Amino acid sequence: MTYRKIKPIIREVLLGYTDGLTVNDLIRKTGIDDRQIRRTLEAMDDVYIDRWYLAEYQKPAQAVYCIVNIPDDCPRPQKAHNEKRTYNRRIS
């Protein structure tokens, strides 16, 4: 699987868990290889590391990934062709 096919899967899973998930959690929920998940998470602009989970007894810390809902861009205002622009001048 390419990361372009994996992105929507990871995005959908993370949107369901507002508290975030570790890579191990994502592996269990999706069944995708850990290298592919890590590579895809690095490529996703809407995913960030929220905090670090300290595991027990000499295991490395695990990053907890969360997703940001990116809103659509604000639409550009339509210019009215017949409106005359007025400028406010300061009078000193």
Element (H, E) at 64: strand 62-67
User: Across residues 67-71, what is the average pLDDT?
Assistant: 83
Give the Å distances, CA to CA, from 46 to 11, 16, 30: 9, 15, 19
**Number of domains, the chain:** 1
Judge residue 65's burial from the number of C-beta atoms within 10 Å of its C-beta, 0-12 exposed, 13-18 middle, 19 or more buried.
Answer: buried
- Residue 59 in any domain: the answer is yes
Length of the chain in residues, anyone?
A: 92
Quick check: 19 pLDDT over 80?
yes
- Residue-number span of the structural domain to which 57 is assigned: 3-67
pTM: 0.70
Per-residue pLDDT at 14: 94
- Residue 82 resides in a domain: no
* Domain CATH number, residue 12: 1.10.10
Does the structure show a pLDDT above 90 at 90?
Answer: no
The proportion of the chain whose per-residue pLDDT surpasses 70, expressed as a percent, equals 84
Q: Is residue 80 part of a domain?
A: no
Per-residue pLDDT band for 49 (boundaries 50, 70, 90) equals very high
What is the Cα Rg of the chain in Å? 22
Say what the pLDDT of residue 2 is: 73
Least confident of 47-56, 57-66, 75-84: 75-84
- pLDDT reading at 35 higher than 70: yes
